[in-house]
Each structure stands twice: as C-alpha cells, then as structure tokens.
Amino acid sequence: MQMKVIDVDKQVRLSLTKTLQLVLSGVRFRLFRAAITVVIVALAVAFLMTMLSDSIITRNVAAAIDIETAPRRLLGFWVNQLTSTMTVQKLTEDLTALPPDSNRWKELKGWGQIEDNDAMGRLVDVAQREQMYAAFFDNLKEGDRRALVGRAVGLDIFDVLVDDEAFQTFQKELPSVGQLFPGEGIDAFRDFLTAWASARPAMDAIIAGHSTAAGQARKTLLKGRPADVFFADEADESLPGKLATFGFILPNDDVVVLHRRATLRRDAERIAGTFAAPLLKQSVAKRAGLEKANEATVDTFFKQTSSRRGVKWFLAELDNIRRRFDELPEDADKRQDLTQEQKLILASRDPLTIFAAFEISPERITEVTQERLRDKHLQNVEKRITVTPEGTGLGGFSSRTLALIAVSFLVCIVGIANAMLMSVTERFREIATMKCLGATDGFIMVNFILESCMQGVAGGVIGAIVGMLLGCGRSVVMYGWMAMAQTPFSELAATALISFVLGLFIAAMAAVYPAWVAARLAPMEAMRIE
Amino acid sequence: MTSTETTQSPNGAGDNESRRAVIIRTVALKKEYLIGQVVTYALRGIDVELYRGEFICVMGPSGSGKSTFFNMVGGLDAPTSGRVFIDEVDVAQLSAVELAFLRCRKIGYIFQTYNLVQYMTCLENVTVPMAFAGVSGDRAQQRGMELLELVGLAERWFHKPIEMSGGQQQRTAIARSMANQPSVLLCDEPTGNLDLKTGSEIHDCLMKLNKQRGVTIICATHDHRLINMADRIMWIRDGQIERLADRSEVTVETGTIEGEENA
Ligand SMILES: Nc1ncnc2c1ncn2[C@@H]1O[C@H](COP(=O)(O)OP(=O)(O)OP(=O)(O)O)[C@@H](O)[C@H]1O
Ligand SMILES: [Mg+2]
C-alpha cells in the first residue's frame, strides 16, 4: 500500500504575541507561585544592586574627599617640608614614587647637586629595589631576621650586608629561613647591595642639602613663626621665588590654595582660643544644654557658632563678659580676697582680649566655623570609608564579596528551578493536554522560559530599585550629604540595568531544565486518572 | 438505512464507498510495559481496520488495554512492535513536529477528566487547538462559537471550567476536540465521571457529531447504553480483540451483554 506523508510546512509556529498571551493568562492564574519566583529574583538582584551602588557611591565619595582635602594635604606637606628633617627612609620612599622631571625630582636633584639625569635614574632604581628587599626583611620573623642579619633593622640591614663577612653569614642562613627570596636570586641581591653602597653618598648629599636648605629657610623666612602662619601671611607672588632660593619648588597655583588654607587654620585657632576663657566655656555648655562646663569641647563651641544667629550670640556673649571685666576692681590681679566668680572673670580676660585684637568679622567667624565643621565631617567620612574600591562595579569587589554574590545567584537559580519544577509537576495534565491539542515541544519549552522571564523582569525591576534605594540609603547614613551630592546617577542607572539583565538572565537560565522536563512530558499523561 | 445496496455492508448503513474507506489500521500492534523485571503485556497483537465515519465502541474489563490501544492509535505513545496507520500515514515514521501536526488536525481527544485549562474561559479553551493550527483572532472566535452552539453551550462561552458542571465541561471538551475538524475523535471513557443522565447528553452530543459531521468516533466505555448507538462494537480482553461485531449482531439485554463481564 502506498504511504502518505504529512506536509509539515503547514504546521504553524505560534506568534510571539499569542504565546505571550497564553503565558500571561497562566501567570495571572498562578500568581502566588509567580510571586515566589519574583521575590527570589528580586532578592538576588537587590543584593547585587545594593553592593554595586554602595561601592559606586563609596568610590565617588572617596574621590570627592580626595579633592576636598587636597588643600589640607598641601599645607601639611609644606609645613613638613620647611620644618622636618629628611631621612633615608623618607628619601627612598620619595624616590620610588617620583615621576622623572617632577618638581620633587628637581628639588632632590638640586639638593644632592646631581648633575645628570642618569645618576638620578640610578638612584630611583636603587630605591625601588630597596623597597622590594626591605619588604622581605620586614615580613620575616624576629628570630629569622636575627639569624640572617643580626640586630640590624630597616635600612641598616643593607648597610650591614655590604660587608663581605656579614653577607656570607646571610647567604649561609638564608635556606634555613625557608622564605622565598624576592627578585632574581642571590646574585641580583649582591648587585643591589653594591649599587646601594655606591648610591649612599648621593643620598646622603640630598639629605644634607635638604636639611641645610630647610634650616636656612627657617632662619630667614619663618623667623620663628610656625610654617602655617607663614603661608597665611605671605601670600604674594614673591613666595615661590623666595622658596626657590633654598631649592624648594612651589608652583604659583599652589600659593593661593596654601594661603587660603593657612589663613583659615590661623583664624580657626584664634576663634577657638576664646574657648580658653572659663566664662565662655560655661555659656557654651549652657547653650548646648550640657550639665557641666568641662563636657563642652572645642567642637561643641564651633557647633554653636556655625549659624548667623550663633555668631550673634557669640559676639553678644563676648561683650557681656567684657562688661563684667570692667566691673572688676582695678587691682584685681593682686588681690587675694576675690570671690569664685571674680576669679573666673579674671581668668577669662586674657583669651578674650587676645581675640579682640584681631578684629575678626562676624561673617568670617561663620565662614571659618563652617569650614571647620566641614573638615571635621570629611575626616569622619574618611574614617568610615573602610575599603576604597579601585575599579568600577563588579571589578571593584573583593573576592569574598564576589563569592557572596555568586552564591546568592546560585541559590536564586536553585530556588527558581525548584519552584518551576513544582509548577511542572502540578501542571503535568495541562501540559500533556496541550501536547494532545497540537503543542510542539518547542512551544512548551518557550512557554516555561517565557513565564520565568516575565517573573525575572518583574523581580529584576523590583530588585534593582530596592537595591539602589538600600545602597543609597546606606551611603547616606554612612557619609551624610556627601553621598548624594556625589552620586553619579547615570552610572547607577547603568548598573541597575546590568543587575536587571543579570536577574533576567538567571531567571531564564533557571527555567531551562524545568522547561525541558515539561517539554519531554508524554502527551498520554493527559489520559491518566489519579 | 434506506438504501438497498447496504445489505451486504457489515455496518449495515451508509454509502458503501465512503463507509469502507479505512481511516485507522493497525498491524500486529503490541505494547509491553517493563516495570523492574516484570513485563506487562498491555496489547498482544491487534490487527484491526476502522472505517471513516463509523462510530466504534470499545469495551472490555478494566486493565484489558483499552487506554493503551487509544494511546497507540492516537499517536500519543509508540508501540513496542507493530504498526499504526492513520489515514494511511505510518505513525512510527513521524517526527515530533509531524506528530504534533497530526494530533492538532487529524485527531480530537476527549478525556474522562475533561482536561480543560482551568484559567481559560470556555471559548478560550475551544480556540486553543486553533491557535496551534494557525487560526486566531475573529475567525477562531467565530468558529469557536459555532462549535459551542453545536454542543449547546453558546450562552456560556465566558464561563471558566470551575463555574461549569461536569457535563458542561465535557461538552466544552467535545467542542475543543472538534476545533480543527479532525477525522477521528478518540474518547476514553467520556462519561466515566458523569451520572447517567448527563452521560446520555454526552452520548447524544457525540452521536450528533458522528451523524452531522461524519467524524469517526472511537469510544471506550463501560456504559451499555452506548452500544445501542454504535455502528460496531469491539471487545478487548487481555490485550487482544475478543470480538468485533456489528451492532445488528449483538443482542442487548438490560444488565449484561454477551462478551462482557461485570467489571
Ligand atoms: N504506563 C504504564 N506502565 C506500566 N503498565 C501499564 C501502563 N499503562 C498501562 N499499563 C498496564 O497495561 C494494562 C492495560 O492498561 P489500560 O490502562 O490500557 O487498561 P484499560 O482497559 O484502559 O482499563 P480501565 O478500563 O480501567 O481504564 C494494565 O495491566 C496496566 O497495568
Ligand atoms: Mg482506561
């Protein structure tokens, strides 16, 4: 008998809209089960998003703090330059961090009276190797180090090892320490020691040059003043020139920054100086609602003067106290029969008189106070930034955080797959019936994956939003106003999108196996009667 | 029944040419189930030819292999050996997609448990197979309404399955099975879950489809009343055809029928 064939080209593939319609009506019917998947995806995505947005904001806050605290660091650097002495340790650190031809490079070259750049390059090279070897010795156990180099610590170790006999002991003992020696073996270390020994004179010259320069600068420029006051007072174009005569290179742009910062610091000190007056301290404590006067700190004081009203109060208080000075007897200092209160007034006279000599305007008081509070805030925030993520997004996480995220997603996949498998078991009759009615395996498969994707979309959106809110909330709690001021919203949005897509992806992934199980279900299951 | 030419016809009625056209043919059909080490012979070699347009009633005690036979004939499961031809197409040769095509357009299934999709309305249920056959939108709705009218449920098209009685659900299932104008309806105990009166309604409904639309109906049942309506009756016992007879050859008595034991 002749056999007929079926013309399958006529078999229709369901349009996406029709499939979506079918899936949607199914999802609506099983809302509770769908909600489970949605919640699982939302949790995983929210977790990821919280971490991501937190890290992004933290990184931005760190960057912002870096910019904001630059003047403070600049002033600190210059105060240090002019007042402290240089050591070999500090010099080698400087040398390793130096880009060639930077100001610092030129300064060091000048002080060491090193003529050619190659010599400087060699110094930098020696310094770099020195850091590497020093790290090795620093990480040794005390006993091991003793065995290798005796009592020497730090850079002295290299000075000791230059000696042949000491080096032989070192070489003999090294294997017993059992630590991997850095660099290219013991010969390379020997070469370094030679280079180190020959570099020492140049280093010493630089150190000597710097201390002479700093010494002379102190004598002629500072004339006994603290360095920061010097920068507050001398804010003219001649400053770089004056410093240059001693080998310091100060860029013109920095003069303004240094001046502003130094003035601020000086004025803050003057204002805070009034706090030494016991009477003022008492009123500050009273205004701040503290019970005892000595609970009040300088910070309490500055909090009081941060607003315009606070400044008014402060000035009025000063007048008030001053009036009480005037009521004191002429020879109050010499008299022995003063009351307790009179003694307090007397003790408060000097600080307030000193302050009065500077004639600081109320506006300036507000400005200084606010800058100071801001500084304090920055310092607090800086302390709270425990980790400074370097990269963007996922790249900035520690491996532990990454593992946590991976585990959360794994749990999520397992959870969804389980929920879907249960759903397949529950719906076996429906699936089998659909197959009897002409559904292909592909349709069933797509049906389940689409269902999971829909739940993934919902979970992803919810998770991304919740996660972002949580991350931002955490940052606001941690860093205050800085968090929101520095938030890169476009980056956050991009990250939210990534998290969302990831959520959708895992939802789809998790559905593959259950969908496959469903697609394989035999249509005759529809006939089964339980 | 008016034609004189039909006297030799085993069916005893209808146009000879169209009645004798074979729609389903099985050759040495065997099905064995292996559970652990025990082999169950569900079908032990069935050779049968079923004709287009006839109403065949399959009877037999429980566990005799009726459902297994249906699964083979409906392209729902593969036989262990032997062949099934539906409309002269060898089912064993078909790919998964071709099988889906076959189930979609050639065969309609009616289940004892109705198997309606719970979250769809009556009309939506009826139009599902049409969607798989590429008919959708207004045309599907219109055809679905016509079918519902045929089974007498037109005014209930918007009801969900749980809002309907068993009989109504089964009638919806019948309408659904007719969605793509199949040549064969396979009904595995369609009235098994229904009371006598509702069962008769379903029987009438099937009868109507058979007479009006000429669709071949193969119906497994324990219900003796159906024997009165069938063209032929097939008894299965222990996976073999015990007897295959025209209705005229069968004497129907109340209570028992020959060849059937009370199950
Ligand atoms: N999936 C299966 N696995 C193993 N054995 C099966 C399977 N399906 C059916 N059988 C066996 O095949 C035989 C025939 O079963 P079938 O379901 O065809 O009987 P039936 O005539 O439909 O009975 P009923 O009238 O109770 O529905 C039975 O012995 C049964 O145990
Ligand atoms: Mg059965």
Whether chain A has a CB inside 8 Å of the CB on B105: the answer is yes
Interatomic CA distance for residues A63 and B44, integer angstroms: 82
Instruction: Answer yes or no: is the C-beta of B188 below 6 A from any ligand 1 atom.
Output: no
Residue A24's closest chain B neighbor by CA?
A: B119
- Residue ranges of alpha helices (H) inside B81-193 are 96-105, 122-132, 138-150, 166-177
ipTM entry: 0.87
Domain range B17-21+52-79+95-257, CATH architecture: 3-Layer(aba) Sandwich (3.40)
Given this model, what pLDDT does residue B6 score?
36
Q: Are A470 and A377 in contact (CB under 8 A)?
A: no
Instruction: Find, among A422, A405, A503, A419, the residue nearest to A459 by Cα.
Output: A503
Q: What are B55's strand-pairing partners?
A: B217
Q: Is the CB of B196 under 6 A from ligand 1?
A: no
Are A4 and B74 an interchain contact pair (Cβ–Cβ within 8 Å)? no
- Vertex A459 angle, CA A456 and A464, to 5°: 115
Q: Please report, for residues A131, A417, B51, the alpha-carbon distance to residue B189 in angstroms, rounded to integers and kept in the order given.
A: 89, 36, 21
Task: Find, among B101, B260, B80, B6, the residue nearest to A11 by Cα.
Answer: B101
Q: Which ligand is nearest to the CA of B34?
A: 1
Residues in chain B where the model's pLDDT stays below 50: 1-19, 254-255, 260-263
Which residue has the least CA distance to atom 14 on ligand 1? Answer: B65
**Chain A residues near residue B98 by CB distance under 8 angstroms:** 6, 8, 11
Q: How far apart are CA B188 and CA A138, in angstroms?
A: 86
Where in chain B are the domains? 17-21+52-79+95-257
What residues of chain A lie within 8 A of the CB of B89, using their CB?
A: 3-6
- Enter the DSSP assignment of A7: -
User: pLDDT value at position A257?
Assistant: 85
Whole-number Å distance, alpha carbon A437 to ligand 1 midpoint, is 22
The domain limits of chain A are: 13-67+395-527, 79-228, 267-387
Quick one: which H or E segment has residue A317?
helix A308-326
Distances (CA, A) of B9 to B4, B211, B252: 10, 18, 21
Contacts of A310 (CB under 8 A, 6+ apart): A303, A304, A369
**To test the ligand 1 pocket, which listed residue (B64, B219, B236, B237) has its Cβ within 8 A of the most ligand atoms?**
B64
Those residues whose C-beta lies under 8 Å from the C-beta of residue A180, and which sit 6 or more positions away, are: none
The pLDDT of residue A324: 83
Rounded CA-CA distance A202/A93 in Å is: 15
Q: Give CA–CA dist B194/B156, Å, rounded.
A: 20
Question: Which atom in ligand 1 lies closest to the alpha carbon of residue B239?
Answer: 14
CB contact at 8 A, A428 and A521:
yes
Sole residue written with tokens 């030129």: A106
> Least CB-CB distance to A527: which of B134, B136, B188?
B188
Location of structure tokens 């058979």: B210
Q: Is the CB of B62 under 6 A from ligand 1?
A: yes
Kindly give the parts of chain A with pLDDT less than 70. Answer: 1-13, 235, 386-396, 486, 530
User: Which chain A residues contact residue B191 at CB under 8 A?
Assistant: none
